[in-house]
Amino acid sequence: MATSKLLVSTLRKSLTSPSPSSSFRRFSTAAAEAVAPASEPEDSLTIKGVKISARPLYLDMQATSPVDPRVLDAMLPYYLARYGNPHSRTHLYGWESDQAVETARSQVADLIGASPKEIVFTSGATESNNISVKGVYEQEGFDVTYLPVGNDGIVDLEKLKGSIRRDTGLVSVMAVNNEIALGKIPIDVDKWNVSLMSLSGHKIYGPKGSWEWGTACELAKKEMEYDDKRIGALQERLLNGVRAKLGGVVVNGSVERRYAGNLHLSFAYVEGESLLMGLKDVAVSSGSACTSASLEPSYVLRALGVDEDMAHTSIRFGIGRFTTEEEIDRAIELTVQQVEKLREMSPLYEMVKEGIDIKQIQWAQH
């Protein structure tokens, strides 16, 4: 135990102590880069052919989140001293690990109003989804009914009720998406009458691929209200900051009924992939990390009724517990600069500025 605490102390000192080339403010994912000068330092790096002057500020919290240092504190003893297999029933090491797993099970259950016996740890969200959905009728086969959503991304409950048949065995819905909603909005599986739910620890400042995210759930329950207010304020700061300097910015989905940490914007007359490539100093995404390798517009945006041209101009900003105001301000500055640069290169934008309605243009076929 003393060894693990010493390691954590050393780690924190290395993170919080200023180095000759950068300054670091507490609870920031990339605060040094957020306020770094525009000139390129000598220690720039190139990854996948992209030259980056420093580590980008991180605004992709919907893809994954950093581990909370308090979660790391809880994890380290099980990597260094209490490393027994929880299924080893004949000695202390196994007993310690088994007790830790059961504690984590209780912490997860407490966050969502479930019984600890109902919590099953899997390798990840994909396995959980497959168990939940395919596991119900895989042997028998089934018909699937897909329901549309409104322009705000919300399912019409009356349409849902009307689509349930006598032989319906499973209704599957998402809250934000369940992986992201955990620890961000109140969840009560009993009140919601939920039979199965897929949850991900790495979306709530827990580890990737480990059972030890019970501590992350415990912290999320204590700090949910505070996180929501703080993240909401940062989202408002980001949106207002961008809109104060740019026109043609559209929020995708409901403005009122959304998780504050997820801000999905479309920028008219700008190609989304070009914007992403230009924002190499900001780690953002065009959509789900599971499908972002595809150049096709997000099926979620299509379901919202977003026009094809606007769907190709969208960027998702993910704000989290450790995002700072400095990072938000830097993201605003860089986003505005890049959008303005791309619009200056766009003949369509020039036509719009001249008052031409480009939707009325009859383009010649070749």
| Residue 362 dihedral angles phi and psi, to the nearest 5° | -95, 100
Catalytic residue among 164, 251, 290, 356: 290
Contact between 304 and 153 under an 8 Å Cβ cutoff? The reply is yes
Where do runs of H (alpha helix) occur along 113-182?
125-137, 157-163, 178-181
C-alpha angle with apex 132: 127 to 137, nearest 5 degrees? 120
Contact between 5 and 83 under an 8 Å Cβ cutoff? The reply is no
Q: Give the C-alpha distances (Å, rounded to integers) separating 23 from 30, 41, 52, 79.
A: 10, 14, 18, 30
Q: Which helix (H) or strand (E) holds 80?
A: helix 69-80
Contact between 262 and 318 under an 8 Å Cβ cutoff? The reply is yes
Q: Is 290 among the residues known to form the active site? A: yes
Tokens matching residue 81 = 């001293």
Tokens matching residue 285 = 């995404």
Count of CB atoms within 10 A of residue 254's CB?
13
Q: Give the C-alpha distances (Å, rounded to integers) separating 261 from 100, 111, 165, 301.
A: 31, 19, 36, 18
Tokens matching residue 179 = 């992986």
C-alpha angle with apex 154: 315 to 266, nearest 5 degrees? 20
Where do runs of H (alpha helix) occur along 246-324?
272-278, 299-303, 308-311
Mapping DSSP onto H, E and C, the string for 178-241 reads HHHHCCCCCCCCCCCCCCCCCCCHHHCCCCCCCCCCHHHHHHHHHHHHHHHHHHHHHHHHHHHH
Catalytic residues: 290
